[in-house]
Amino acid sequence: MQCNAAAAGVKLASSRAPAQRWSPEEDGRLTRAVETFDEKNWRRISAVVGTKKAVQCMQRWRRSLRPDLKKGRWTHEEDALLIELITQGRKTWPELSNRITGRSAKQCRERWTHHLDPAVNKDVFAPEEDWLIISTQAAVGNRWSHIAAMLPGRTENAVKVRWKTCHR
């Protein structure tokens, strides 16, 4: 996909330190520790893993390794259920995810905000939008929510992805 704007020569910079990936061995220790201690004592689980903090262990388990966690494409039934639950009255993402088997709160939130919300503009970016994204990012940096607020219907993620596309 080509960017409509001419300012594609800017380098992508990151001020964040690279994340330390989980090794297969750490994942194995985490899985065995959760089998031993259930999902109740993350400090003890962390001690068994040995290289990660309790909160990191909890997040890794709940977001990636939990056996009932679904990954990949959403089914039409899952989409319909998420839409129905939201139209019945917005609850918290964790409450919604408890009603959609195998989907995490983060998955539900991202599915709604990036794909299903009718307010999301999924049209091809116009040249004026590309210019606004590139020029504003040059002025304010990677403040995607700030930039997205200038483009009705565009999500922070869509704006960030579009900016990165323009810099390939």
Residue 42 pLDDT exceeds 90: yes
Per-residue pLDDT, 17 = 54
Cβ neighbourhood burial of 97 (10 Å; 0-12, 13-18, 19+): buried
Q: Report the alpha-carbon distance of residue 70 to residue 67 in Å, rounded.
A: 8
At residue 11, φ and ψ (nearest 5 deg) are -80, 145
Per-residue pLDDT, 61 = 93
Assigned token pair, 51: 């290289």
Mean pLDDT over the full length of the chain: 89
Predicted confidence band of residue 38 (pLDDT cuts 50, 70, 90): confident
- Whole-structure pTM value: 0.64
Assigned token pair, 162: 């579009």
pLDDT tens per residue across span 133-145? 999 999 999 999 9
Per-residue pLDDT, 91 = 84
Residue recorded with tokens 């989980």:
22
Sign of CA dihedral 88, 157, 24, 42: negative
Per-residue pLDDT, 81 = 97
Percent of the chain whose pLDDT exceeds 90: 74
Residue recorded with tokens 């494409």:
73
